[in-house]
């Protein structure tokens, strides 16, 4: 997928003044945040399960070579054809080859972020094969020629009215005067349109939430049932999974699914958790005759053994972005690539390069909510700091930022001078800001005061107050 991450700042500025986007983002809080909180509170073992899930993933990552081999062996014994892809181009070619060998004209797709990552749809289209996204949100954004703005709610940036306009534009075989105001009407229309495509597809492509080494099984977790119709109706089922999706056993899956949906949508379980092992068996009346699994590295192995290894525990629940004030203000598209929000701010630089994604680790207030809600306890703010350090080392920041940091470091290493400078500044700002208690404009701080006032200090620094014994608990 093409990235617009390098123009993150312009993306964000445009997002802040997009009325449709701001209306849509306003619904995140009463949705995901409240539901996740209630679901976590209703399960006394929730935090113990988080620690358990983390330990499982850490163990797998430390032994990933052996688990990949074990998985491949079991899957192959069950009749799967396992393919290995070093990078996105490898994966695209493998999948195209499977589709061509199947004589495929149309391909249905379950929701899969990894196929976004490898730019699969464009590659299939360019080679004369029509990819059909079947998840409702993915279908809507495919109609619009867009990409997902959220990893589990791809069309969260859109309002009902926008979706209704798209359906009228594209579903021209239906009565133009039909009512399309409410979500159930829109869903019913998409269901009807999609049914024929499910039944007509030659190949079905899904992602995977887990690959189970014990049994050679791939697992998808969905609510709509589209992933299942995608994989049981066509003659060929292709699973695309990145290598960190491995878990050892079914018991390990049980640990992680207990926190996955609760963290994502606040459900105790998603509606469909589906385990697939090999192709259709003798005597089976349905299911695919061919079952392929494409194991994709595409930059993951380089994260192993680095300060970014913990990121590979991510189970793609989306809790970090749901709770992120920056994501909540600008939405997912501003991040400019497949993975938005805090997990994207850490993962994107690892996968496309920090030179292209340098703004993303800086798009954080370090409030820490992402780490606090992460079911896999991934230290997202810490890893964003690691990226900032790498940016500094590689001189990727603008000169003004480096100069400012240099000035701050100069003062911070000289405590007497630091106290003098901050004391003067606090007194001066306190004096000038006394009347209103805030500044509507301030030299060198236009980036701040353009959007909100700067609070005026009261005249003394924190260190002064601390020294004077003014401590409040």
Distances (CA, A) of 386 to 210, 354, 370, 381, 473: 28, 11, 16, 9, 32
Segment lying near another protein (by CB under 8 A), choices 207-215, 323-331, 389-397, 439-447 = 207-215
Cβ nearer to another protein, comparing 68 with 345 = 68
Q: Give whichever of 257 and 363 is closer to another protein, judged by the CB atom.
A: 257
List binders of another protein among 302-331 (CB under 8 A). 302-306
Our finding on whether 269 is near another protein (CB under 8 A) is yes
Residue 160 is a binding residue for another protein (CB under 8 A): yes
What residues numbered 7-66 form the site for another protein, per CB under 8 A? 24, 27-28, 31-32, 43-45, 48-49, 52, 56, 59, 62-66
Integer CA distances (angstroms), 57 to 315, 349, 378, 424, in order = 10, 22, 11, 51
Work out how close the CB of 298 gets to another protein at its nearest, in angstroms, rounded to a whole number. Answer: 10
Question: Which one of residues 13, 41, 126, 254 is an interface residue with another protein (CB under 8 A)?
Answer: 254
Q: Which of 3, 58, 84, 397 binds another protein (CB under 8 A)?
A: 84
In 10 A of CB 447, how many CB atoms?
A: 7
CA angle 378, 380, 385 (to 5 degrees): 140
Q: Is 301 among the residues that bind another protein (CB under 8 A)?
A: yes
Burial string for 54-71 (b: 16+ CB within 10 Å, else e) reads bebbbebbeebeebbebb
Secondary structure element (H or E) that encloses residue 212, with its range: strand 210-212
Task: Return the number of other C-beta atoms located less than 10 Å from residue 189's C-beta.
Answer: 18
Residue 155 touches another protein, criterion: CB under 8 A: yes
Please give the Cα distance from 109 to 120 (Å, whole number): 10
| Tokens 């119709």, located at residue | 229
> Closest separation between CB of residue 176 and another protein, Å?
20
Cβ nearer to another protein, comparing 148 with 433: 148
**134, 206, 377, 461: which one binds another protein (CB under 8 A):** 134
What mask, x for binding another protein by CB under 8 A, covers residues 178 to 197?
Answer: -----xx-xxx--x--xx--
Nearer to another protein, 174 or 304 (CB): 304
Within residues 95-124, the interface with another protein by CB under 8 A covers 97
Within residues 343-362, the interface with another protein by CB under 8 A covers none
The residues pairing with 242 across neighbouring beta strands, listed in sequence order, are 296
Q: Which of 279, 274, 185 is nearest to 226 (CA)?
A: 274
Residue 407 within binding range of another protein, rule CB under 8 A: no
With CB under 8 A as the contact rule, the residue among 156, 205, 260, 363 that binds another protein is: 156
Question: 255: exposed, middle or buried (C-beta count within 10 Å: 0-12, 13-18, 19+)?
Answer: buried
Positions in 212-241 near another protein (CB under 8 A) = 213-217, 223-226, 228-229, 232-233
> Is the CB of 271 or the CB of 425 nearer to another protein?
271
Angstrom distance (rounded) from CA 368 to CA 377: 11
């Amino acid at each position: 997928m093409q990235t617009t991450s390098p123009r993150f700042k312009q993306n964000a500025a445009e997002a802040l003044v997009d009325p449709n986007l701001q209306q849509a983002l306003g619904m995140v809080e009463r949705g995901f945040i409240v539901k996740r909180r209630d679901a976590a509170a209703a399960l006394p073992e929730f935090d113990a399960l988080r620690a358990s899930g983390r330990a499982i993933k850490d163990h797998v990552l430390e032994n990933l070579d052996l688990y990949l081999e074990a998985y491949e062996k079991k899957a192959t014994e069950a009749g799967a054809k396992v393919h290995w892809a070093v990078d996105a181009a490898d994966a695209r070619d493998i999948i195209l080859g499977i589709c061509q060998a199947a004589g495929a004209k149309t391909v249905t797709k379950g929701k899969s972020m990894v196929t976004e990552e490898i730019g699969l749809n464009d590659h299939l289209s360019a080679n004369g094969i029509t990819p059909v996204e079947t998840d409702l949100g993915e279908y809507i954004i495919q109609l619009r020629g867009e990409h997902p703005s959220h990893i589990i709610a791809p069309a969260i940036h859109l309002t009902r009215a926008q979706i209704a306009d798209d359906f009228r534009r594209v579903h021209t075989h239906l009565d133009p005067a039909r009512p399309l105001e409410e979500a159930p009407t829109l869903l019913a229309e998409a269901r009807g349109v999609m049914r024929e495509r499910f039944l007509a597809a030659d190949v079905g492509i899904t992602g995977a939430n887990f690959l189970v080494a014990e049994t050679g099984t791939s697992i998808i977790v969905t609510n709509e049932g589209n992933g299942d119709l995608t994989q049981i109706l066509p003659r060929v089922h292709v699973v695309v999974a990145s290598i960190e999706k491995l878990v050892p056993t079914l018991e390990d899956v049980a640990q992680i699914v207990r926190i996955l949906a609760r963290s994502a949508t606040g459900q105790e379980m998603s509606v469909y958790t589906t385990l697939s092992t090999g192709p259709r068996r003798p005597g089976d009346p349905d299911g695919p005759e061919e079952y392929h699994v494409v194991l994709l590295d595409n930059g993951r192995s380089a994260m192993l053994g680095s300060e970014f290894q913990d990121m590979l525990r991510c189970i793609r629940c989306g809790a970090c972005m749901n709770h992120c004030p920056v994501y909540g203000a600008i939405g997912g598209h501003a991040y400019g690539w497949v993975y938005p929000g805090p997990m994207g701010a850490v993962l994107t630089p690892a996968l496309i390069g920090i030179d292209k994604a340098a703004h993303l680790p800086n798009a954080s207030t370090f409030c820490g909510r992402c780490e606090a809600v992460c079911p896999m306890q991934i230290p997202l703010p810490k890893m964003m700091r690691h990226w900032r350090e790498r940016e500094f080392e590689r001189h990727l920041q603008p000169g003004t930022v480096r100069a400012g940091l240099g000035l701050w470091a100069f003062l911070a290493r000289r405590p007497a001078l630091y106290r003098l400078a901050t004391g003067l500044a606090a007194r001066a700002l306190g004096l000038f800001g006394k009347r209103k208690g805030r500044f509507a404009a301030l030299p060198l701080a236009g980036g701040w005061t353009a959007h909100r006032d700067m609070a005026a200090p009261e005249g003394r620094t924190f260190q002064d107050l601390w020294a004077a014994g003014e401590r409040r608990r």
